[in-house]
């Protein structure tokens, strides 16, 4: 009587492999459901040419004291005594439109910055060499002011690097907070561009403090330096604190795949005990999802929360170096201004005492989050004495998450700002996506592109070839072990079924007799270990997946030397096909435009917005069909449950996985197609190898087993897997002996 096949095993093993792949993709769509909607109409990112907008005053800052309209600077030296009464800010009257730094021409400047009227902050920060689409029509905006029209008609404004307020404490007095976001409080310098001054006066109109701000654009490197200081011009000692906006929310990535990838990042120095040199900037310990920093909306909206320092950072004695925000491909970080040539430069953002999360709330899903920089209190001596001013300068990097680009700036390199670049999905996959592993894969990918192919698609394919080649010994061991174990289990299937019928009321006896049967047939429990290497390989594939997903170099790079763009004009609906490895393959855009989307309610949670017909996921489905048909032998189901499981596995593989991958970047789709195709060829070769050497012959397996048992004086097993096998067999012998007694 022929031995019935072990259908359960043949179904279970492919399901395990399938689950590993599907789980990787599902991680993205779990976060996609919480992806914020586009900004509402009442919130814009444009800098107006007129008006004096109001701004969002954080709740932790005391209410500002109104300034005296029309007050003019004092023409006489400041008196020794400060007049009693509330302090005011000088009102300089109408001011000209804010200036624009840099040029929009890529050959002249890498960036262009338009300042904002609100607190003389950043209105719009453009990147001249990065565009929204491969048509290179609209430049990428990495930082911009956000404006919310309130019910009163006034505008609430949140602008990056904007001055918010200054808190002043006079001798014997209480702290007074004065808001600095109104443009009328900032007088532009008529000689030096992008230079402003604000003045705090006493109730008699005499100057007490002057705040100086000057922007300097490093056009060749794309950095923006803010030189600012507070100067005591009175004859009395004064204490003050400074509040300003740091980086503001990055734009939401347009790609509908991968979900929310915006993060908040910190660079910091370790404690003197851990790093006596205080020179190494660490950043991989403070990687926070934006949703975690934003928190939950309360009954009255979003309260302020402290993002730095936390209890952990204070306990570990970390010192802040830089603070930044990122999305998938771009980031913005505020950092100290240092001279990299200095022998021991101060790498700390020393004047910042707290980093506070603030929110411009336009409703659920439309929140704009920013990080406010709150200074420590400064005691300023009377004018003319040492210590009468304090430097609050800082730099802003806003650009691509590309280590090579960041490291071109020696000061950014010394501050470790390249730590913004992070090839890791986080979440449950974060712990096994090792940075050293992504670094190796990234280096190989770059070598294949730069030195061999000069094409990223071919580099991805051959990177998969290299990785599969390195993992082939483990894969071969795993498949051989699994196949031999499955063959043995098929052979003992009828006997096991008979035991189950005989001892169905005695589970303990059934377990003992099953162990005896396995021992008689030469079946080792170590056969279960055949699946173990698949799990050991998982970190490698996750690391490769993360590297391809976050690599800035793939953005706007056409596949196969851009052949599809070179053979047709931009007016063709097929011109977009494989023009950007960071986007879906875009075989055919709806209405020939990226602005047209199709939303399918049933599938929107999985696929997001559908803007084009994509063919790579369909090819991926065909490859998966071939793979599951080849790697899952045709098996006759013996029960309705088994038949249902087989159908579910087939449909999940052929349809669900490509559906999840429909909006995946073309680079990742090419990676999956190449990996699955090579997996089919590799599995076919391994099967031929097993057939050629008779590895699945039951009689031969029994003879080999008997020979191993009868061998005397055999050497102790060597190697990790051999030792695991020996341990499993020894445990089986002990359990069998106990059952016999």
CA–CA separation, 323 vs 265, rounded Å? 6
List beta partners, residue 241: 167
Tokens of 270: 């370790």
Provide mean pLDDT across the span 481-499. Answer: 79
Q: Does domain 43-422 have CATH number 2.70.98?
A: yes
Residues 626-660 pLDDT 10s = 877 766 544 444 456 656 776 776 777 677 778 88
Helix axes 493-502, 456-491, angle to 10 degrees: 50
How far is Cα 496 from Cα 611, in angstroms, rounded to an integer? 55
d(Cα 241, Cα 613) in Å, to the nearest integer? Answer: 56
* Total residue length of the chain: 741
Tally Cβ neighbours within 10 Å of residue 132: 15
Beta bridge partners of 335: 395
- pLDDT band at residue 13 under the 50/70/90 scheme: very low
H or E element at residue 629: helix 616-631
Find, among 232, 185, 242, the residue nearest to 82 by Cα: 232
Identify the pLDDT of residue 176: 93
Spatial separation of the C-alpha atoms in residues 464 and 476, rounded to whole Å: 17
Q: Which two tokens stand for residue 356?
A: 């506070």
On the CB side of 618, CA atoms within 13 Å amount to 6
Q: What is the pLDDT of residue 78?
A: 45
Domain ranges of the chain: 7-33+430-710, 43-422
Q: At what angle do helices 616-631 and 666-692 cross, to 10 degrees?
A: 20
Which pair of structure tokens corresponds to residue 606? 């999985």
pLDDT digits (tens, 9 = 90+) for 223-244: 899 999 999 999 999 999 999 9
Quote the CA–CA distance of 578 and 665 in Å, as a whole number. Answer: 10
Pull the structure tokens for residue 122: 């950043």
Type and span of the H or E element at 288: strand 287-289
Return the structure tokens found at 734: 């002990």
- Residues 545/671, Cβ–Cβ less than 8 Å: yes
Q: Strand, coil or helix: what is 337? A: coil
On the question of pLDDT at 254 being above 80, the answer is no
pLDDT at 603: 57
Cα torsion 332, 337, 338, 340 to 10°: value is: 50
Q: What are the helix (H) ranges across 448-506?
A: 456-491, 493-502
In the predicted model, what is the mean pLDDT of residues 365-379? 94
* CA angle centred on 376, ends 371 and 377, rounded to 5°: 135
- Residue 71 scores a pLDDT above 80: no
- Give strand ranges (E) for 181-283: 187-188, 195-201, 207-218, 223-232, 238-248, 263-269, 281-282
Is the separation of the CB atoms in 567 and 575 below 8 Å?
no
pTM of the model: 0.82
- Between 344-353, 553-562, 632-641, the lowest mean confidence (pLDDT) is in 632-641
Task: Region of 361 please: left (phi>0), alpha (psi -120 to 50) or beta.
Answer: beta
Kindly state the average pLDDT of the residues 92-108.
Answer: 87
> For the residues of 203-231, what is the DSSP string, one character each?
TTS-EEEEEEEEEEEETTTTEEEEEEEEE
- CA 616, CA 621: separation in Å to the nearest integer? 9
pLDDT at 128 over 60: yes
With contact defined as beta carbons under 8 Å apart, do 329 and 376 qualify?
no
């Amino acid at each position: 009587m022929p031995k019935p096949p072990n259908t359960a095993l043949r179904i279970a093993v492919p399901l395990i492999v399938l689950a590993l792949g599907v789980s990787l993709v599902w991680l993205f769509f779990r976060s996609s459901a919480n992806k914020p909607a586009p900004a509402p109409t009442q919130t814009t990112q444009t800098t107006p040419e007129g008006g004096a907008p109001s701004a969002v005053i954080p709740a932790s800052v005391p209410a500002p004291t109104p300034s005296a309209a029309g007050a003019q600077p004092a023409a006489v030296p400041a008196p020794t005594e400060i007049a009693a009464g509330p302090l005011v800010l000088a009102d300089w009257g109408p001011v000209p439109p804010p200036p624009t730094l840099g040029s929009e021409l890529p050959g002249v400047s890498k960036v262009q910055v338009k300042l904002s009227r609100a607190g003389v902050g950043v209105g719009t920060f453009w990147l001249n060499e990065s565009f929204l689409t491969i048509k290179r029509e609209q430049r990428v905006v990495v930082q911009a002011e956000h404006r919310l029209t309130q019910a009163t008609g006034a505008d609430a404004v949140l602008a990056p690097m904007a001055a918010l307020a200054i808190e002043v404490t006079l001798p014997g007095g209480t702290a007074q907070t004065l808001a600095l976001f109104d443009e009328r409080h900032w007088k532009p310098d008529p000689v030096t561009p992008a230079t402003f001054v604000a003045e705090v006066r006493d109730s008699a109109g005499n100057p007490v403090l002057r705040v100086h701000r000057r922007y300097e654009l490093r056009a060749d490197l794309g950095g923006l330096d803010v030189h600012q200081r507070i100067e005591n011009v009175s004859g009395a000692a004064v204490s003050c604190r400074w509040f300003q906006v740091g980086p503001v929310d990055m734009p939401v990535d347009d790609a509908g795949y991968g979900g929310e990838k915006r993060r908040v990042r910190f660079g910091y120095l370790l404690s003197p005990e851990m790093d006596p040199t205080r020179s190494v900037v660490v950043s991989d310990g403070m990687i926070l999802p934006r949703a975690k920093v934003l928190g939950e909306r309360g009954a009255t909206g979003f309260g302020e929360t402290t993002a730095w320092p936390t209890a952990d950072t204070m306990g570990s004695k970390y010192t802040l170096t830089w603070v930044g925000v990122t999305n998938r491909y771009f980031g913005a970080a505020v950092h100290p201004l240092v001279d990299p040539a200095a022998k021991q430069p101060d790498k700390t953002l020393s004047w910042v005492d707290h980093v506070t999360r603030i929110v411009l709330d336009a409703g659920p899903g439309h929140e704009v989050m920013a990080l406010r920089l709150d200074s420590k209190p400064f005691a300023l001596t009377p004018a003319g004495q040492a210590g009468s001013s304090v430097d609050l300068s800082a730099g802003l990097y806003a650009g691509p998450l590309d280590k090579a680009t960041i490291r071109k700036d020696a000061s950014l390199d010394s501050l470790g700002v390249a730590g913004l670049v992070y090839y890791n999905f986080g979440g449950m996959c974060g712990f096994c996506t090792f940075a050293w592993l992504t670094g190796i894969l990234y280096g190989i990918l770059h070598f294949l592109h730069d030195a061999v192919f000069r094409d990223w698609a071919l580099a991805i394919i051959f990177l998969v070839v290299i990785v599969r080649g390195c993992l082939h010994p483990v894969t071969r061991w795993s498949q051989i072990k699994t196949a031999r174990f499955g063959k043995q289990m098929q052979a003992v299937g009828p006997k096991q079924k008979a035991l189950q019928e005989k001892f169905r009321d005695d589970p303990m006896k059934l377990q003992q007799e099953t162990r005896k049967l396995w021992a008689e047939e030469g079946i080792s429990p170590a056969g279960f270990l055949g699946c173990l290497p698949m799990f050991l390989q998982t970190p490698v594939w996750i690391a490769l997946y993360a590297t391809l997903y976050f690599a800035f170099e793939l953005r706007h790079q056409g596949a196969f030397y851009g052949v599809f763009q070179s053979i047709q004009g931009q007016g063709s609906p097929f011109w977009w096909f494989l023009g950007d490895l960071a986007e879906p393959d875009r075989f055919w855009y709806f209405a020939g435009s990226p602005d047209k989307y199709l939303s399918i309610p049933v599938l929107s949670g999985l696929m997001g917005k559908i803007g084009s017909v994509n063919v790579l996921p369909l090819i991926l489905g065909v490859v998966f069909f071939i793979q599951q048909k080849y790697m899952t032998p045709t098996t006759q189901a013996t029960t309705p449950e088994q038949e249902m499981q087989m159908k579910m596995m087939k449909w999940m593989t052929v349809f669900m996985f490509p559906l999840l991958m429909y909006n995946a970047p073309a680079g990742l789709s090419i990676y999956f197609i190449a990996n699955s195709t090579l997996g089919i060829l590799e599995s076919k070769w391994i099967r031929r190898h097993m057939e050629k050497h008779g590895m699945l012959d039951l009689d031969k397996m029994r003879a080999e087993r008997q020979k191993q048992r009868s061998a005397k004086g055999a050497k102790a097993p060597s190697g990790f897997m051999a030792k695991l096998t020996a341990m499993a067999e020894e445990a089986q012998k002990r359990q069998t002996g106990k059952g016999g007694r």
